[in-house]
Amino acid sequence: MTISADNQPPVRWGIIGPGGIAKAFRDGLTHSKTGKLVAIGSRNPSKPGLGDDFPGARIHDGYQALLDDPEIDAVYIATPHPGHAEWAIKAAEAGKHVLVEKPLGLTAYEAEAIFHAHKKAGTFAAEAFMYRVHPQTKRLYDLVASGMIGEIRAIKSSFGFAMPKFDPDHRLYANDLAGGGILDVGCYPVSMTRLIAGAASGKPFLDPVQVQGSAHLGKSGVDEWAAAILTFPNDIIAEVSCSVSVAQDNVLRILGTKGRIEVSDFWFATGKEGGTGTIRIIRPDASVEVVEVVEPSWLYSFEVDAAGEAIRAGQQQLASPGMSWADTLGNLRTLDKWRGAVGLVFDIEKASRKTTTIKGAKLSRGAKSIPKRQLAGVSQPTSVAALGFEFFPDFASASVLLDAFHEAGGNLFDTAYIYAGGKTEKILGDWLTSRGVRNESVVIGKGAHSPLVYPDVIAKQLTETLDRLQTDHVDIYFMHRDNLDVPVSEFVDAMDAEVKAGRIRGPFGGSNWTRERMDAAIAYAEKTGKQKPGALSNNFSLAEMLDPIWAGCVAASDDEWKAWLTQRQIPNFAWSSQGRGFFTDRAGRDKRDDEEIVRVWYSEKNFERRDRAIELAKQLGREPIHIALAYVLAQPFPVVPLIGPRTLAELEDSLSALDIQLTPEQVSWLDRG
């Protein structure tokens, strides 16, 4: 076996997607200290000249064939942007380390899925910003951190060039390849400004608290030129711009109270083949100090060796100023906001086109399945937990979680007319239609939220809900709030009418309703022969809610409620069932930073329950939040927790608690000690 310069076996690399950037990486491998090119994967392996471009490398027919090669340790993914997430995740499943060309994914949600896959696999993953691991970048960071130009006030950075002409088939203009400037080159000034803002605060990076963006979307629907203002928590304001059809000066300017720093084409550092880089420090009196960084090594060799050294050390991510996982996620979240501000959604991200999972496969059920139970009035067994997802900005982001929940055996989805102004219902409807799983899914609808809590609102909002969901019925329906000025009979009449019309095909009831109102509604329905309320959606948790999280909220966690639920056996679709962070390290007797947690949950009684959850978690080898969810599921009456994970990691963590079977004695001990 070949031994590298440092007397260790080289990291054996394969390249997926042998295009122009792959050739630059090839040169980096050739001039690296740790790596060796072994093979390439191509969808056109017989392409003339391919072997000449990558001399000595085996040519695999297809990307999967390269991942199946046992002589490959790590993979450089250089496909067009839409293929990054699919092949980075498949690489993790094949046990391969990855360096993924920027952007790591189209969105932060894709990046989180990639990192989750590699965390589980124990493999290395990083985004290939070659300039971030170059010595010039470290020198620049240190100059800023040292106060060389005083306190930083503003940063200006651009990366823009002009293509010879508009070509809808070129990757930079192709909508299907996620072309345009923001993802391809705008990511560079964003990553640099975040690095410099971090240096000014003594941190590896800093994320903006506000992103204001603008762009020109051209004939193919991609951003041809764009700009954004980033506002950081340390009051630094950054102006960033990018373009693929407009030439820019491409100078990084860092403005401080004692001067400014300028660096031209910072991402090239000392040059592709090595050389001298220049950092200019300009004082208020116009005097100029030049800091030269001499580095003969090839630009792309630095990322090869940074990845190689991390892999050899058993690390899963790069150290700063390389792009750590948190750094990459922060960068993509900023790009997401920039794209959101200009309305840039690629056609391939829309429901009509994005019909497969993040791994490019048709939706299917996995080997493991979330437990199900039959609830009275519901036509099919439902998963013991329901998925809520009001946090996602668009279909592409939400589909990552929706697909994973379905593949894990979940079929119960919680939404509401008011969530995100209707966006959540529209996303769910698009997903159900795109995936063709409406008939095997159980959909919860909610309407008549404050201030419009009136019987005549129900039919109007349900009509709009069904239109958004692209269906003719919901399976379970809740009044989202109650209005004590309206007799319960009027609400029951309105919901019963929808049952008779076939638009509610299962139980209905109240969300944030009191026992007294539920009892009155049930009694009225029994007296008049109407369908009686058969479901509740109040807060229920091991920790009792002391103060309503939102106006009009009702908790059902105390002893009186438990007795009522036990007697009635009405299923409670419980929101905030895990205490909204109270059973994580965000809470503690000495932690008072989170106003909501303190206001809603802090009492000695709740802390004693939390202490017992921590103790039992240690005994079972689990986390306290798992015990809190298991407690909810172990009640002597049906409770369906509504979970709201934002990432695959959070989803899998919640689902992992579903196999915990607490005894009645453990449930009682958690509750009362």
Nearest to 215, CA basis, from 75, 361, 340: 340
Question: How far is residue 40's CA from residue 51's CA, in Å, rounded to a whole number?
Answer: 10
Residues 556 and 538 sit within 8 Å (Cβ to Cβ): yes
Q: From the centroid of its chain, how far is CA 493?
A: 42
Beta strands in 487-594 (DSSP E): 508-511, 535-537, 572-574
The CA-based dihedral angle spanning residues 101, 104, 106, 107, taken in that order and rounded to the nearest 10 degrees: -160
Contacts of 648 (CB under 8 A, 6+ apart): 112, 113, 116, 400, 401, 404
Which pLDDT belongs to residue 389? 83
Q: Give the H or E element holding residue 288.
A: strand 288-295
The CA-based dihedral angle spanning residues 498, 500, 506, 512, taken in that order and rounded to the nearest 10 degrees: 40
Per-10-residue mean pLDDT of the chain, 673 residues long, equals 66 95 96 97 91 94 97 98 98 98 97 98 98 98 98 98 95 97 98 98 98 98 98 98 97 98 96 96 96 96 98 97 98 98 97 95 86 94 93 93 96 96 96 96 97 97 98 98 96 98 98 97 97 97 94 94 96 94 94 94 96 97 96 97 93 93 96 92
Residues 115 and 385 sit within 8 Å (Cβ to Cβ): no
Question: How far is residue 198's CA from residue 238's CA, in Å, rounded to a whole number?
Answer: 12
Which pLDDT belongs to residue 402? 97
What is the total residue count of the chain? 673
Contacts of 596 (CB under 8 A, 6+ apart): 549, 580
Which residues on adjacent β-strands are paired with residue 242?
159, 226
Which pLDDT belongs to residue 390? 80
Q: Distance of CA 669 to CAs 18, 541, 542, 611, 612, Å?
A: 61, 15, 11, 11, 8
Which residues on adjacent β-strands are paired with residue 245?
162
3-state secondary structure 568-635: HCCCEEECCCCHHHCCCCCCCCCCCCCHHHHHHHCCHHHHHHHHHHHHHHHHHCCCHHHHHHHHHHCC
Task: Give the tokens for residue 660.
Answer: 């915990």
Nearest to 77, CA basis, from 51, 104, 49: 104
Cβ-based burial of 422 (10 A; exposed 0-12, middle 13-18, buried ≥19):
middle
Identity at 123, one-letter amino acid code: T
Task: Give the tokens for residue 638.
Answer: 């049906």
Nearest to 539, CA basis, from 508, 506, 573, 493: 573
The CA-based dihedral angle spanning residues 566, 567, 572, 578, taken in that order and rounded to the nearest 10 degrees: -20
Q: Distance of CA 144 to CAs 58, 156, 493, Å?
A: 45, 14, 68
Q: How many Cα atoms are found within 13 Å in the side-chain-facing hemisphere of 290? A: 7
Report how far apart the first and last C-alpha atoms of the chain are (Å, whole number): 63
- Give me the phi and psi of 288, to 5 degrees please: -125, 130
Tell me whether the omega of the peptide bond preceding residue 168 falls within 30 degrees of 0, making it cis. no
Which pLDDT belongs to residue 443? 98
pTM, whole model, 2 decimals? 0.94
Buried b (16+ CB within 10 A) or exposed e, 204-215: bbbbbeebebeb
Identity at 205, one-letter amino acid code: F
Q: What angle do CA 539, 545, 547 make, to 5 degrees?
A: 115
Question: How far is residue 463's CA from residue 503's CA, in Å, rounded to a whole number?
Answer: 9
Contacts of 138 (CB under 8 A, 6+ apart): 321
